[in-house]
């Protein structure tokens, strides 16, 4: 027997949205637009690009709405979608920049990287070097602002295991970033 979500909660709004209430979707968007925009700005320097990624996140939420488990929390699920959207954008952007640099090298013989791209690349490489379990926890905690309990719920792990993964991941990042 499922427990009904609290009225006005994220889960209640999502349940209403699943039942056809478009106003519930608008309320969820209004509630999470700012936090998701801040999450996107950590990886994207342009305000408009970050806003576009927030829009894409909610489009993905809409497309995957039937996959939402009404007995679970919305916030970790939404942040997982947002991180996936952001990762895809970063991968695509990096590929595009590599192509532009290659063309630039062909034309001028050399190319230099702007400092913000260089820093982004160093951090991205450090994160990519983490084991997947640690990287996922660090991204959800650091960039997503989720608590260890919320992450544990989303990943199907215990809060203690999630804290341990985060501790190890943060330690490895400190070591690799100096």
Q: Are residues 106 and 134 in the same domain?
A: no
Q: Rounded to an integer, what distance in angstroms lies between the CA atom of residue 127 and that of residue 135?
A: 6
Question: 76-92: per-residue pLDDT in tens?
Answer: 999 999 999 998 888 88
Residue 46 clears pLDDT 60, i.e. is over it? yes
In a domain, 168, yes or no: yes
Say which CATH number the domain at 157 has.
1.10.10.10
Q: What is the pLDDT of residue 15?
A: 93
Q: Rounded to an integer, what distance in angstroms lies between the CA atom of residue 144 and that of residue 151?
A: 10
Average pLDDT over residues 59-88: 91
- The answer to whether 162 and 137 have CB atoms below 8 angstroms apart is yes
| Domain range enclosing 91 | 8-111
- The answer to whether 126 and 177 have CB atoms below 8 angstroms apart is yes
Q: What is the pLDDT of residue 72?
A: 86
Q: Are residues 29 and 98 in the same domain?
A: yes
Considering the entire predicted model, what is its pTM? Answer: 0.56
Q: Are residues 119 and 32 in the same domain?
A: no
Overall number of domains in the chain: 2
Write out the H or E segment, with its range, that includes residue 35: helix 22-41
Q: Are residues 81 and 168 in the same domain?
A: no
């Amino acid at each position: 027997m499922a427990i009904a979500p609290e009225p006005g909660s994220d889960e209640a709004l999502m349940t209403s949205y699943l039942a056809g209430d478009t106003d519930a979707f608008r309320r969820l968007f209004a509630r999470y637009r700012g936090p998701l925009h801040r999450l996107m700005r950590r990886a994207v320097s342009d305000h408009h690009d970050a806003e576009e990624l927030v829009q894409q996140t909610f489009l993905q939420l809409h497309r995957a709405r039937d996959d939402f488990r009404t007995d679970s929390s919305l916030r970790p699920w939404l942040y997982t979608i947002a991180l996936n959207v952001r990762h895809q954008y970063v991968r695509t952007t990096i590929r595009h920049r590599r192509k532009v640099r290659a063309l630039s090298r062909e034309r001028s013989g050399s190319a230099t990287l702007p400092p913000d791209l260089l820093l982004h690349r160093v951090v991205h490489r450090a994160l990519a070097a983490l084991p997947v379990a640690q990287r996922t926890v660090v991204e959800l905690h650091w960039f997503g602002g989720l608590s260890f309990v919320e992450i544990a719920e989303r990943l199907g792990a215990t809060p203690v295991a999630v804290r341990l993964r985060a501790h190890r991941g943060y330690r490895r990042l400190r070591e690799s970033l100096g």
